[in-house]
Amino acid sequence: MNDTYRLSEENPMTSTCDVKPIGQAATGQSSAADVTIHAGSEISPVERRSRRLRKYERIAGVDLFRGILLLILGLGIGVLSVLELPSGDPIRQVFRYETARGLTNQVTGSAWRNAAGPGLVFARDFLLSGFLFAAGVSLTLWRWKRRQNKSESASHARAIINRVGILILLGVFLQSVGSEQTRLVLTSPLAQIGLATLIASCFLTISYRWGWVTVCILLIGHTVWFYTVPVPEYGSELKTPELETYQASHYLPPSYQQFAYQANIADYTDRLWLSWLPGQPDAKYRADGRVTWNFIPAAALMLTGVLVGRKLVRQDWQPLPLSLFLMLGGIGCIFCSLLFDATVAPAIERLMTISWVVLAAGYSLLLLGICVVLTESFGLKKLVQPLLVMGRHSLMAYSFLIFGSVWVSNEIIKHGQTAGSMMQLTPLPLTACLLQVFLPVVITMALCGLWERRHSGLT
């Protein structure tokens, strides 16, 4: 068992308890260890559902899903490191103006309202939502694994509390890097995943039908809050020319002014309670408009992943029908999000509005379906093995990508250039650019591979 912060088992982003949905029971075969459920036997519904889950293995499709998200994150970090170079740098000039502009949108995300096009998202916008969905799926699989081991309920609660605490503390630590003091805000991805985990874990035992009802209540209640509570006038510190220019460039229709940038009730209440903390609110850090209250719709998205995870643990699902079910559900969610964006609330990722959550759920279902069919139906596990390894250790990979990948990559490039100059070799700008883009991901894959080999007894 991996023990990265002991979160290989307990982190919702990298659970070792993934349950393979297909196996001997799915093909009509049975092993000697299987228990036959005879008609008329007195078995409770919970025990009957548990006996459907006889074979526990990792679901490669879930690992690939997380690995793809980390790949997007790593490539975005590499591209951003190139775009931040001076305009006269030869490496920076590899990207022409139009290419640089398109890549900048992908790695920085929408300015406010989802602006990639109807039903389309930038890569950066989808990352947090994808991790929330994946954490929900892994939370369900983690619960089934612990039930198989007959862990006590008190042990479940302690594991959840430890998980939430580590995610929040790690999120605060990472978002405070480069700051003169601790940023006591909970808007970072890891902190939001931690808060959403705390809520979603309360509904792990809820029925399938009531689970979807809870998702609807969270999303509708969050939307009603924006429409029914008026926003008081902000102080003069926010009425700056920069803010007016920003709001003018990202205009919302009059019917959607309740969701305007830094002029909505979630942002106002967030600043109100943060003002009691030392050095808060951090105006520069909060300029992107994210709010702590995003954990409410984030919990709805994670709970969606929990409910989808229940489908994955059923052994009567074949890979291809399961993948089609997920992909069709994803397409349906994307179309529903377009309707909600036009009639209910704008799709704003930084506020996690209802239309955005439905859109993100659609993309997550679509990507998960593709991952399942690639790994289970087409048997491409060896081809995507580096992504699978990175997905199995996603918390470690995420932390390294955010915190140290660029520095390590720059050091490797620096020493490589020194060695090249000693051998009178001059790398082409294109080669140097590709190294700077791909090295963060390659180094992270190698680190995760070494960790897995070290802790699986292979070295």
For the segment 151-167, what is each residue's pLDDT rounded down to a tens digit? 666 677 888 899 899 99
Report which DSSP code applies to 288: G
Residue 360 to residue 191: CA distance in whole angstroms = 19
Residue 407 to residue 439: CA distance in whole angstroms = 11
Higher pLDDT, 9 or 429: 429
For residue 18, is pLDDT > 60? no
pLDDT score of 83: 84
Residue 387 to residue 46: CA distance in whole angstroms = 35
Q: pTM here?
A: 0.82
pLDDT score of 130: 94
Helix axes 60-83, 354-372, angle to 10 degrees: 120
| Alpha helices for 109-152 (secondary structure H) | 123-148
pLDDT score of 34: 42
Residue 330's pLDDT band (boundaries 50, 70, 90)? very high
Question: How confident is the prediction for the chain on average, in pLDDT?
Answer: 79
Q: What is the dihedral of CA 257, 261, 263, 268, to 10 degrees?
A: 130
